[in-house]
Chain A
């Protein structure tokens, strides 16, 4: 009989619990009575938050499905000119955070921007205002989110289409169904769980967004939470608003969980690929080409060019020591966070692997919840217990020792790194977990039978096999931290600026061109995980 709780298990469970303390504190506010701010909110803004969020979710669903599914279908089923590039290039918009693409389109489409200027020149009307759709609107936000979030749908749909046994579709044809019936009654329904899983991820990102909706003036939960927190300083109402947002998120998580479970049944384990894909020619090839080009063009190329243009314009004045401090702050913060997060993930996963303990498994699962929780909510959740701790300690210290301890946790980098680690732990867990799953326990056992010590096993087997997924996890967390806006905005120490905060502040001041340089740097760094991702997929296909 194995011992159920040893030091390692307890350490693991404690780590997971500690990491999630802010979440439990936040959720406990559900028992707190509402105050007059809540009443006011419920009467005025709350319905707007809910309606806007629902519209956003509906619009982004339609947008991401329209952009993601056709491209995934053509890439997975046919050969056509440009396919090899589109295969990975369709992932490029993932490098573009939604708030950054929002800034670029604001710049591209504003009155003085290149598009409207060109139109005025074309129609030779200098003064008359052409009717032009307002990008800073709910509809605009939907378009922005769709352009950068469709890769989630594309990725999962493409692998679902590709993993469907081709014989399933051939079987449909031999049973008398034409191509359309085959697509709508066989291929699409089989891919549906995977597509829904991708869609829920896109919708979670939509709900988590702060920068875009703030810039476009679309009132949603995240802007509401930020406003209540910074404007009113009302902890209770902020927490309760956060809980309401978490209800939305929880529903999405449940749908995602259910879809992934369903998807397992819908892939054919016996499948074999002996197939050459048909080649599209003529009009069909042009159609497929265009369908794949549109999302890349509008989701990456155009905004990236705009960022480049802004950056070049301000480079001479902006590439100063202030900017390099910004870069140093961002990169060192991301580096430390990635290191911490990867270490925690390693601890949790090795405990899970070696302990064979239900409690450990559960705590690992709970610790990975962060990915679903919006950055704004995590920031608030971290702030509440940390501020309470600081205040309590400070009060006690002043009373008994006569000295003020000040802010030890809140308002320091510690709070920020803590919040990031919780938010992005699942990224590291997934990456390292998949690496670790390749090291079968039987490998350890066979090494032991060959006379290897624990140290030798670690050095000769685990480290070589795990190193690439460790590096991947590190980079993924690094880039996520670099991109993250609301958590940084709320938790950063006084006078501590990062690239994302700088871009936000410049855009908020209507100095879009000055937002270009930090934004461009974020996007360029964001390309690294996209490259890793496409390489990983390429390897799996080879």
Chain B
């Protein structure tokens, strides 16, 4: 296993720039995940690392070695990257054992057999070596693809939407399993997904990408609690933006009151800003004196998600326990539980327009 270093790369596709000035660092043994909507360039980044795509500028290093730059392009087969493809790309004409053997044919017969046996054990598919891919379920095929990619002890493992072909219920548990397997093998790995639950389940650090930019590379916790971009605030978790104004001393004034905030020095006192309010920042409490009107509600099984109207007409989301079944139009008591507010420069799109969980009926 090696560390992965990506320095200011640029890639183009048919004269359009896909990635520009993108940098990333993944420590040896770390599991990273690129998260973003489709078309954001995350798969392109992964394919550039694998060598399936040349880069126009910058460089990609695996350990000490430059594998891609504007001058060099190491052949795919020499890079020793393991890759798990979205469609698994198992060889349909080979047995499971032969699929895994494919990348380690230079080993001795005995070593091959040992590696196959131990990998199948690792991915919990012992006894299936003589089967063909089409005889396995989707989840099993996925694990074969993982075992095959791991067989040659790659310097880094790349996974392109590895769980997207599976049932939703399976995805998260399989992601946890894969994380355990990768940690057991001590593999440096980078995965691409558009599903945040998968990302949180598997990764040590997560990067959120948008239109070719890597906006933030951080822990899952920080992406949720300290997003550095409104897009991330929207993409990860739920929440709304309300208006606020900076009132000095690392505080912002909003309809919810004066909130403590992480403010950089770029903000000046009196500046109009947007403030992120998560549903878990506003807690329903029947004892509270502070009451707000319910505009909309969605039942989520484990909880209710209420849309509440503030005095100035702005709307916020509020989570409550699932037995608090309040009608639309009624007023419910709430408490603010916000440690530090997340503040962004004033956004054009405000209120709940694109941040409400579901549109309400007219």
Contact = CB atoms under 8 A, between A and B. Distances in A.
Most chain A CB neighbours (cut-off 10 Å) among B52, B92, B93: B92
A170 B260 CA distance: 51
B80 interface: yes
A268 B103 contact: no
B103 A176 contact: yes
A375 to B, nearest CB: 36
A274 B44 CA distance: 11
B103 A175 contact: yes
A190 interface: yes
A165 B91 contact: no
Given A167-B85, A265-B132, A176 B91 contact: no
Contacts of A244: none
Nearest to A189: B93
B93 A176 contact: no
Given A177-B77, A270-B165, A171 B89 contact: yes
A175 to B, nearest CB: 3
Given A167-B89, A190-B92, A271-B87, A172 B50 contact: no
B327 to A, nearest CB: 37
Interface string A267-308: 110111010100000000000000000000000000000000
A424 B85 CA distance: 44
A189 B94 CA distance: 9
Contact of B85 (A171, A185, A186): A171
A174 B81 contact: yes
A266 B151 CA distance: 23
Contacts of A465: none
A192 interface: yes
Nearest to A164: B92
Contacts of B86: 167, 270, 272
B83 A171 contact: yes
A190 B93 CA distance: 6
Contacts of A271: 87
Nearest to A169: B89
Interface in A131-182: 165, 167-168, 170-178
Give the dominant DSSP class at B's interface. loop
Interface in A423-456: none
A268 B77 contact: no
B311 to A, nearest CB: 50
Most chain B CB neighbours (cut-off 10 Å) among A170, A174, A276: A174
Interface string B61-89: 00000000000000111111111011111
Nearest to A191: B93
Contacts of A272: 86-87
A194 to B, nearest CB: 12
Nearest to A175: B103
A268 B141 CA distance: 12
B13 A165 contact: no
B137 interface: no
A174 B92 contact: no
A98 B148 CA distance: 48
Contact of B148 (A173, A175, A265): A175
B81 to A, nearest CB: 6
A181 to B, nearest CB: 9
Contacts of A175: 77, 82, 102-103, 148-149, 151-152
A268 B81 contact: no
A35 B89 CA distance: 60
Contacts of B91: 168, 171-172, 186, 190
A172 B83 CA distance: 10
Nearest to B132: A265
B50 A266 contact: no
A407 B81 CA distance: 77
Contact of B87 (A174, A176, A190, A268): A268
A174 B50 contact: yes
Contacts of B360: none
A274 B50 CA distance: 16
B349 interface: no
A134 B103 CA distance: 50
B312 interface: no
Contacts of A192: 93
Given A177-B102, A265-B134, A170 B77 contact: no
B52 A170 contact: yes
B108 interface: no
A34 to B, nearest CB: 45
Contact of B88 (A174, A186, A270, A274): A270
A176 B80 contact: yes
A190 B89 CA distance: 12
A225 B151 CA distance: 60
A400 B91 CA distance: 73
A176 B89 contact: no
Interface of B: 13-14, 43, 50-52, 75-83, 85-93, 102-103, 132, 134, 148-149, 151-152, 165
Given A178-B77, A265-B92, A274-B43, 19 more contacts: A165-B89, A167-B85, A170-B50, A170-B83, A171-B90, A174-B76, A174-B81, A175-B82, A175-B102, A175-B149, A176-B103, A177-B103, A189-B93, A190-B92, A192-B93, A265-B132, A265-B134, A268-B89, A270-B87
18 contacts: A165-B85, A165-B89, A168-B89, A171-B91, A173-B52, A173-B75, A173-B76, A174-B81, A174-B149, A175-B102, A175-B149, A175-B151, A176-B152, A178-B75, A185-B102, A265-B92, A265-B134, A268-B89
